[in-house]
């Protein structure tokens, strides 16, 4: 059927978890694959419960979905264990043999790095230290840990075989386009590329297999840690507008700014996006909260969506109007 790649369009925190969870249910994804590392959290609100995930794919809400952790991913055993328990996804999770393992020593080293912690704004989760070891070919992989033996699999083979059978697969990328090591606001970036191409590489699928690239934008821009943020609002103003948020992994306050059309346009270009998902429309337009039909959106909200489409050259097909996974206006059928 199809392979969709879901990526963040700004600095992370765009709501990828919500969109991934919705797609897993609506499109009945056979497989959901998580790329990246545990320095990025994806939040899912489903059936009255809130889940904050750092490595388990957000597709866990679909009990029929196989949940895979890509070869390029980095995670710690304790985070995986906690999320298996929280999501009750036992028996559905597969970990690639070659995915990398973060240890307490990596975390300790990260927290002692003054440059990363104070200037760049690292999460201190040990991802960068583990990535250094991976490049040096000294990092231990999932295949080296007996406690992972029952979860080990060949993710690239599973994904490509599923596509050959005509099944739906979703690749869930991490963080946001402008935290990319290559395309972001260097040096205030993460330790890997996080664009759609990189996500496919981490999983082990070629670009010709991709059918849709969905870039996710929030209705305003937020970022955690250092680095430029055009149009940044004072904390008091952000709070007044309802834009003051707390990061999933670190608990730090997110800086905020109005929607940036130029950054959005470039993110669509860098990722080769075919669709746009827009989240938290209800924060800008409270009258739209909980709406699931496009014709019920306010005229001001529709104009905002039209302006985004005109600026980026891609259709806004999925619109988040509330916290729950199913609070979505899905325009894919009409567009």
Q: Which residues pair with 34 in a beta bridge?
A: 69, 172
DSSP string covering 198-260 = HHHHHHT--GGG--EEEEEEESEEEE-SSS--TTPPPHHHHHHHT---B-TTT-PBPEEEE--
Q: CA 172, CA 184: separation in Å to the nearest integer?
A: 19
Residue 68's Cα: distance from chain center in Å?
A: 15
Signed CA dihedral, 66, 72, 77, 82: sign only: negative
CB distance 318 to 275 below 8 Å: yes
Residue 288: per-residue pLDDT: 97
Domain assignment present for 184: yes
DSSP string covering 98-116 = T-EE--HHHHHHHHH-HII
Domain assignment present for 121: yes
Number of structural domains found in the chain: 1
Residue 250: per-residue pLDDT: 65
Looking at 106-110, 288-292, 303-307, 322-326, which range is the least confident one? 106-110
Q: CA 15, CA 6: separation in Å to the nearest integer?
A: 11
Residues designated catalytic? 13, 42
Per cent of the chain over pLDDT 90 is 84
Q: How far is CA 167 from CA 29, 30, 31, 77, 326, in A?
A: 7, 6, 8, 30, 22
Q: What is the mean pLDDT of residues 19-46?
A: 94
Looking at 33-37, 146-150, 152-156, 243-247, which range is the least confident one? 243-247
The more confidently predicted of residues 247 and 15 is 15
Domain assignment present for 65: yes
Domain assignment present for 84: yes
| Dihedral pair phi/psi, residue 141, rounded to 5° | -105, 170
Per cent of the chain over pLDDT 70 is 94
Q: What is the mean pLDDT of residues 129-152?
A: 96
Domain assignment present for 157: yes
The tokens 């970990």 sit on which residue? 95
117: confidence class by pLDDT, cuts 50, 70, 90: low
DSSP string covering 168-183 = EEEEE--S-GGG-TTT
126: confidence class by pLDDT, cuts 50, 70, 90: confident
Instruction: Tell me the CATH number at 46.
Output: 3.40.440.10
Q: What is the mean pLDDT of residues 128-133?
A: 91
Domain assignment present for 335: no
CA angle 331, 332, 333 (to 5 degrees): 95
- Fill in the DSSP letter of residue 117: I
Q: What is the mean pLDDT of residues 230-248?
A: 90
Query: Which domain covers residue 101, as residue numbers?
Result: 2-330
Residue 110 has pLDDT above 70, yes or no: no
Residue 226: per-residue pLDDT: 87
Residue 230 has pLDDT above 90, yes or no: yes
Residue 19: per-residue pLDDT: 97
Q: CA 22, CA 2: separation in Å to the nearest integer?
A: 16
200: confidence class by pLDDT, cuts 50, 70, 90: very high
Residue 280 has pLDDT above 60, yes or no: yes
pLDDT one-digit tens code per residue, 307-325: 999 999 999 999 999 999 9
Domain assignment present for 134: yes
Domain assignment present for 321: yes
Residue 316: per-residue pLDDT: 98
């Amino acid at each position: 059927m199809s392979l969709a790649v879901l990526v963040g369009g700004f600095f992370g925190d765009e709501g990828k978890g919500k969109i991934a969870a919705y797609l897993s249910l609506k499109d009945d994804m056979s497989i959901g694959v998580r790329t990246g590392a545990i320095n990025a959290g994806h939040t899912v609100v489903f059936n009255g419960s809130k889940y904050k995930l750092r490595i388990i794919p957000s597709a866990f809400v679909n009990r029929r979905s196989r949940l895979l952790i890509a070869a390029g991913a980095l995670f710690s055993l304790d985070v995986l264990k906690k999320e298996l328990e929280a999501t009750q996804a036992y028996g559905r999770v597969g970990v690639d043999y070659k995915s990398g393992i973060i240890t307490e020593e990596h975390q300790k080293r990260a927290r002692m790095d003054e440059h990363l912690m104070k200037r760049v704004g690292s999460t201190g989760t040990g991802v960068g230290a583990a990535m250094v070891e991976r490049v040096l070919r000294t990092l231990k992989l999932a295949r080296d840990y007996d406690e992972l033996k029952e979860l080990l699999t060949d993710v690239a083979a599973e994904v490509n075989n599923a596509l050959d059978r005509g099944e739906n697969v979703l690749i869930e990328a991490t963080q946001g386009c402008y935290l990319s090591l290559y395309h972001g606001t260097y040096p205030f970036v993460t330790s890997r590329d996080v664009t759609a191409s990189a996500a496919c590489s981490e999983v082990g699928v070629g670009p010709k297999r991709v059918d849709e690239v969905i870039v996710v934008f929030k209705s305003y821009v937020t970022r955690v840690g250092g680095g430029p943020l055009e149009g940044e609002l004072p904390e008091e103003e952000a709070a007044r507008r309802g834009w003051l948020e707390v990061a999933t992994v670190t608990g730090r306050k997110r800086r905020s700014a109005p929607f940036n059309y130029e950054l959005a346009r470039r993110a669509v270009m860098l990722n080769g996006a075919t669709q746009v998902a827009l989240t938290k429309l209800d924060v800008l337009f409270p009258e739209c909260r909980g709406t699931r039909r496009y014709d019920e959106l306010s005229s001001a909200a529709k104009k905002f969506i039209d302006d985004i489409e005109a600026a980026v050259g891609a259709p806004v097909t999925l619109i988040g109007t509330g916290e729950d996974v199913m609070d979505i206006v899905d325009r894919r059928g009409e567009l």
